[in-house]
Amino acid sequence: MNTSRLIGRAVTVAAVVAGSLSLAVPAFAHVEVESESAQALATDATITFTAEAESTTAGLAKFQVVLPEGIAPADVALADAPAGWTLTPTADGYTVGGPALAPGKDGVYKITVKQLPNAEELVFKTLETYSDGRIDRWIELPKAGTKPEHPAPTLKLSAAAPGATPIGTPSAAPTSAAPSAAASASVAPSAPASPSTSAAAAGAPSVTASPSTAATASSSDSSSAAPIAVGAAVVVVLAAGGAWWWRRKRTGAA
């Protein structure tokens, strides 16, 4: 067998082996995720998603994403996307989409997150929908060291910067509350108490009568003394008259 035939057979075998390998290995048109701010507790972090188009007849039209723990839907905003695409929050994440892209064109969009959680990695389970209704589910996680066929987009995070804290965590001691009305009253200077007030506070009986009380007492005494004086005068007059009559009677008799 000459050399040319040997080379031809070798090429044929290599082509068959390569074809067999391509049929045995599934296509991995992943949804990739990356960020220049891939650090725990980073604020206003921009994250980029890139979905490789698999269909030659339909274009990518929508992505539905489940956010990882520590990121609320309200903390996500659309930073960049294909023309006409919008972001809508959902109960556990968001959807982003719009007019379908051309078949074979990758879908790329960016979001801004208020603050990344304090974690080692973030998993963004994603469903991608094509214009013909086809849905690819990129939601699988590695198991026992094996790579899944449809892995969920995962972003690795570096450790948080020194001193970084979650937004909303108080960094200073709370200020003292304003004094209550009762506290203010207890420290406010009071006016000097009058003698009668002091005596009453001490529990001692008051000895100073008001002018109206004294006048009332004097009027009462005068009112009660007048009848007594009149009665005494009447008694004196009667006694004098009786004596005069008795003397006259005796004189006449004599």
pLDDT at 29: 61
- Say yes or no to pLDDT of 96 above 80: yes
Radius of gyration over every alpha carbon of the chain, rounded to an integer in angstroms: 54
Q: Report pLDDT for 248.
A: 59
For residue 86, what pLDDT is reported?
98
Residue 88: strand, helix, or coil: strand
pLDDT at 141: 94
Rounded Cα distance between 94 and 87, Å, is: 7
Read off the pLDDT of residues 152-177 as tens digits, 9 standing for 90 and up: 999 999 999 999 999 976 544 444 44
**pLDDT of 220 higher than 90:** no
CA-to-CA separations, 191 to 43, 182, 184, 199, in angstroms, rounded: 58, 17, 15, 16
Q: What is the mean pLDDT of residues 203-210?
A: 43
Identify the band that residue 237 occupies on the pLDDT scale cut at 50, 70 and 90: low
Please, which pLDDT band fits residue 239 given cuts at 50, 70 and 90?
Answer: low
Whole-number pLDDT of residue 168: 77
Neighbour tally for 47: CB within 10 Å: 23
**pTM > 0.75: yes or no:** no
Q: Could you give the C-alpha distances from 165 to 3, 157, 175, in angstroms and in order?
A: 72, 15, 20
| 188 pLDDT higher than 50 | no
> Helix or strand or coil: residue 95?
strand
pLDDT mean over 97-113: 97
Average pLDDT of the residues in 173-183: 41
HSE (side-chain half, CA atoms, 13 Å) at 252: 6
**Cα separation of 105 and 56, whole Å?**
9
pLDDT beyond 90 at 138: yes
pLDDT tens digits, one per residue of 33-49 = 999 999 999 999 999 99
Q: Is 155 exposed, middle or buried (0-12, 13-18, 19+ CB in 10 A)?
A: buried
* Token representation of residue 230: 């009149």
Residue 145: pLDDT band with limits 50, 70, 90: confident
d(CA 111, CA 200): 77
In order of their start, the domains of the chain are 27-156 (2.60.40.2230)
pLDDT beyond 50 at 60: yes
Q: Tell me the average pLDDT of the chain.
A: 74
